[in-house]
Amino acid sequence: MSAAAAPDAGPLPVPPRGRPRSAAVGTAVIESVLRLLEQGVTVSELSMERIAREAGVGKATVYRRWAGKEALMLDVLRSMEESSPRLTGASVRDDLVALLDFLRRRGLAKRSSAVLRTVVAQVQAQPRIWKEYHDTVVSARREAFLAVLRRGIASGEVRGDVDPELLVDLFVSPMVARAVLCEWSELPEGLAERIVDTVLEGVRPAG
């Protein structure tokens, strides 16, 4: 069909103003932050100007994406996160195992990655950044546990007289203790299943 014979499709959409955001630029900035931290630069020593220079972009480009260093560091942390496990919903037990094994693998990753250890340690020393990370990433993980446990209480797989918030602590604490507080402890495959089965044995309805 010729251009003259083409049907009128109406006015063309107006392109958005400004330059499009390039995913490559965002990746370059985040990788530059990781590289500087790996070299021993502390979070307090980082500046947006230094980060922009390391990434080979203008300072204005960095500020267009992040309002400040805290927002950028939060994205740096998020960039190192694995995707949350997809829950099947087939059973409360299986979903709890999937969530807990995610924490086990996260602990193993931290032990094997010098960069991850450095980033987490330095961000923990920045209370405002760490609180924002906890309020978003960590809280989302906890809410996933709570949703599964509430489902278990509703279905009768878990006793209804147990506080779900306390139950999350009972499931998560043994894994966190091994992964963070006792870094010499092993995190073998099957650990998540053992923890889940042990706790569930105590909170299943009688009969």
Work out the percent of the chain whose per-residue pLDDT is above 90.
Answer: 46
Q: What is the pTM of this model?
A: 0.75
CA dihedral 90, 92, 95, 101 (to 10 degrees): -140
Q: What is the pLDDT of residues 16-56, one digit of tens each?
A: 443 435 678 889 999 999 999 888 888 889 899 999 999 99
pLDDT band, residue 207 (cuts 50/70/90): low
pLDDT at 9: 44
Which CATH superfamily hosts domain 92-203? Tetracycline Repressor, domain 2 (1.10.357.10)
Cα–Cα distance between 46 and 130 in angstroms, integer?
Answer: 16
Q: Which residues of 60-83 are buried (b: 16+ CB within 10 A; e: fewer)?
A: ebbeebbeebbebbbebbeebeee
Top-confidence range, 10-14, 63-67, 108-112, 178-182: 63-67
HSE value, Cβ hemisphere, 13 Å, CA-based, for 127: 0
Which CATH superfamily hosts domain 23-79? Homeodomain-like (1.10.10.60)
Q: What is the pLDDT of residues 150-197, one digit of tens each?
A: 999 999 999 999 999 999 999 999 998 888 777 777 889 999 999 999
| Domain segments of the chain as ranges | 23-79, 92-203
Q: Left (φ > 0), alpha (ψ -120 to 50) or beta: where does 43 sit?
A: alpha
For the chain, give the mean pLDDT: 84
CA 36 vs CA 5, 32, 109, 131: distances in Å: 59, 6, 20, 23
